[in-house]
Amino acid sequence: MRLAALLIALLAAGGPPENPGERVVHVVARKFAYSPDVIQLQLGVPAIIELTSLDRDHGFSVPELGLRIDVEPGKTARVRVVPGKVGTFEFHCDVFCGSGHEEMAGRIVVSASAAMGGSGGR
């Protein structure tokens, strides 16, 4: 089952902070890209994906994982993820944001190794 690929807890925008010690990956959304556009996660290691928008309403949707959240200016959207499966999972903006919307996408890469290059995490 796709939803079983990751154990996901959605935290409401502006909700409680992450558990101490959990890794946070900051992602900035703007027309028409995410930065970073590749999110590296480790199998079984919880992480918070924290999203902000620099311009207008965007979305963050990972259909294969049954995951989506709104990303709105002035708010911080947080998604807690516990990767349960190695693989690459595409994400995209699903709130139409203008000419270039169709190119606004990225991917989550879940690896079994500890390599975290380019993740934007801390």
Partner 1 sequence: MGSRTRREFLQIAGVGGVVFASGLLEACSGSGSRPDPGPTAADDFYFVQLSDTHWGYQGPANPEATVELPRAIELVNALPQAPDFVVFTGDLTHTTDDDQERRRRMAQVRDHLARLRVRTVRLMAGEHDASLDRGAAFQEYFGALRYSFDHKGVHFVVLDNVSDPKGILGDAQIDWLSRDLKAQPKDAPIVVFTHRPLFDLKPDWDWTTADGSRAIDVLHAYPHVTVFYGHIHQEHHQQTDHIAHHAARSLMFPLPAPGSQPKRAPLPWDPAHPGKGLGVRDVDADPRQPSYKLREIPLAAET
Of the residues 94, 109, 116, 121, which one makes contact with partner 1 according to CB under 8 A: 94
Residue 10 and residue 100: Cα distance in Å, rounded? Answer: 28
Backbone angles phi, psi at 5, to 5 degrees: -60, -40
Residue 98 engages partner 1 in binding (rule: CB under 8 A): yes
Query: Per this entry, what is the length of the chain?
Result: 122
Site string for partner 1, 11-50 (x = CB under 8 A): ----------------------------------------
Residue 81 and residue 40: Cα distance in Å, rounded? Answer: 12
Of the residues 64, 82, 85, 109, which one makes contact with partner 1 according to CB under 8 A: 64
Of the residues 43, 105, 109, 116, which one makes contact with partner 1 according to CB under 8 A: 105
Of the residues 17, 35, 73, 96, which one makes contact with partner 1 according to CB under 8 A: 96
- Closest separation in Å from C-beta 96 to partner 1: 4
C-alpha distances (whole Å) from 32 to each of 54, 58, 86, 119 are 11, 9, 27, 19
Is beta strand 6-11 parallel, antiparallel or unpaired with respect to 33-35? unpaired
Of 17-25, 72-80, 89-97, 111-119, the segment contacting partner 1 by CB under 8 A is 89-97
